[in-house]
Amino acid sequence: MAFKARELPDSDARVKTELLAAAMTTAAAGFEVGASYVDQVVVRYGANSVTRRGAAATLGRLKLWGAGLAGMGGFVLAWWDFADASEHFKNSLDGPIGQSKKNSKLLAITYFVRAAATITLTLVELGTAVAIAKPLFDHLSRNARTKFVRMLASAAGSLAKSLGTQTARLVLARLVLGAFWAGLALTILIYLFEDDSLEKWCKHSSFRIGRSSNAYEKQEELIALHSAFREVS
C-alpha cells in the first residue's frame, strides 16, 4: 500500500495519505501478532526468570511500536474526518434548502464525532501500550547509557504504573469498546447518507449549486469526472 501511494500523482493527496495510514495500521497489526507470541513466553516462565524479564521488555517494545503506528494512521484518518465535517458544515449553511441540507448537517456531526472517537481509541491504545511497557521502562531507567534517557524512562515508568492499576485498565478497556462500537455505528451511518463519487463531483464542479464548496481546478475537473464514473460504474 505504501508503494502504491508513492505511485499516485500529487493531486491525489487524500488517497495517498489514506493508503499510507492503512499501511501503518497493517504494520501495527503485524506488531500485535508478534506481541501475542511474546506474551505466551511471558506467561510460561516464572516472574524471577531472566527469560521472562527479557520477554516482558520485548513485549512492551512491540506494543509501543504497534500503538505508535496505529496512532499515526488513526490521526491521519481523523484529520480527513474533520475536513469532511467542515465541508459538510459549510454545505449545510450555503447548500440548497431541503433534505440535502439536513443530510449535510447530519453528516457534519457524524464525521466530527467519528473523528473524536478515532482519536479517543488511538490515545487509549497508546495508554494501554505504555502500561504494558513498564518492564521496558524499568530496564531503561537502570541500564540506559545517558542520564537523559534514564530520566525519560523513569518518568514513563511512573506513568505506566498509574495506567497499569486495575481501575485504570478497566477504564481503558471500556473506552476501547465504547470508541470502537461508536466508530462502527457512525461508519455505517456515513455509508448510508454520504454522497457517491459522482454526487461529490457535482458539488465541486463548475455547475455546483452551493458556492461554499471548493471548485476543481480546470485541469482537474475532467479527470475527477472520469474517476467518479469509474467508481460508480
Same domain as 43, residue 141: yes
Residue 5: the pLDDT is 47
Domain interval for residue 106: 2-194
Which has the higher per-residue pLDDT, 212 or 78?
Answer: 78
Q: What is the pLDDT of residues 138-175, one digit of tens each?
A: 888 988 888 999 999 999 999 999 998 989 989 999 99
Same domain as 139, residue 121: yes
Same domain as 103, residue 14: yes
Same domain as 211, residue 158: no
Same domain as 132, residue 157: yes
Cα–Cα distances in Å, from 102 out to 94, 106, 116, 184, 201? 12, 6, 21, 22, 19
Residues in the chain, total: 233
User: How many C-beta atoms lie closer than 10 Å to residue 28's C-beta?
Assistant: 21
Same domain as 43, residue 70: yes
Q: Considering its fold, how many domains does the chain have in total?
A: 2
Same domain as 133, residue 43: yes
Q: What is the pLDDT of residues 31-76, one digit of tens each?
A: 989 988 888 888 887 667 788 888 888 898 999 999 999 999 999 9
Q: What is the pLDDT of residues 182-195, one digit of tens each?
A: 999 999 998 887 77
